[in-house]
Each structure stands twice: as structure tokens, then as C-alpha cells.
Amino acid sequence: WARTWTLRWDLQLATVVYSGVFNTGVTFVLVSWAVERRGPIYPPMFNSLSLVATTAVDAVVLGTDVYLGGVLGAALVVVDLYAFLWGKSKELAAAKAVNAEQELRCAGDADDGIA
């Protein structure tokens, strides 16, 4: 029993260390990039999408059964993610329009002061 828990320098240990370091590093870089580009709201929205991908890969590679509840849940996650991204794009477009209007107003005020 204790022998199964002993650490040895073999391919299993190398695989676990490589996977842990690589996955953690890549995840950190991608999350940091997404936060820098779009803000802190975006990365958590895609966490649930990883569950959908995991279920799909599990069903295809390992041949596990997928039930109706899982399919409906996955569809709901995708619809919710799409609704969030659609709403966020509308919000960003409205913010850009307001900023452009304010810049025009400021440029008009600056022209009045010169004359």
C-alpha cells in the first residue's frame, strides 16, 4: 500500500509535473492577456465552456455516455455565453459612441474659444 504512494523519477512523475507546469503557465498567460484586452469579466465566462469541451472529449475519446440533461446543460451554457458576448459588444459600441460624441463636443468648444 505505501509503495503506491512513493515518488519515483519515471515517466509518470515527469508527465504530471510537465502537465501541471504547462497547464498552469498557459492558463495564467491566457487569462492575463484576456484581462488586459477586455477586462476581468471575460475569463470567468469561459470557465463553463471548458466543462462542455471536457464532456465532448470524454464522450468521443473514452466513449462515456452523454445524457439529455448534459446536452441541455451544454446548450444552455453556450447560449448564455453567446448572450453575454452579444450584450457586451452592444455595451462597448454604445460606450464608443458616447466617447466619440464627447470628443466632438470638446473639439467644438475648443474651436469657439479660438475665434
113, pLDDT greater than 60: no
| Domain co-membership, 66 together with 105 | yes
Q: What is the pLDDT of residues 58-101, one digit of tens each?
A: 889 888 898 999 889 888 988 988 898 899 889 888 989 888 88
| Domain co-membership, 60 together with 35 | no
| Domain co-membership, 52 together with 34 | no
Torsion angle of alpha carbons 25, 46, 95, 91, nearest 10°? 180
> What pLDDT does residue 67 have?
92
Domain that holds residue 5: 1-43
DSSP one-letter string for the chain: -GGGG---SSHHHHHHHHHHHHHHHHHHHHHHHHHHHH-TTHHHHTHHHHHHHHHHHIIIII-----HHHHHHHHHHHHHHHHHHHHHHHHHHHHHHHHHHHHHHHHHHHHHHH-
Domain count, the chain: 2
| Domain co-membership, 59 together with 105 | yes
Residue 30 sits at the vertex; the CA angle it makes with 25 and 31, to the nearest 5 degrees, is: 100
**CA gap 47, 40 in Å, rounded:** 13
pTM comes to: 0.58
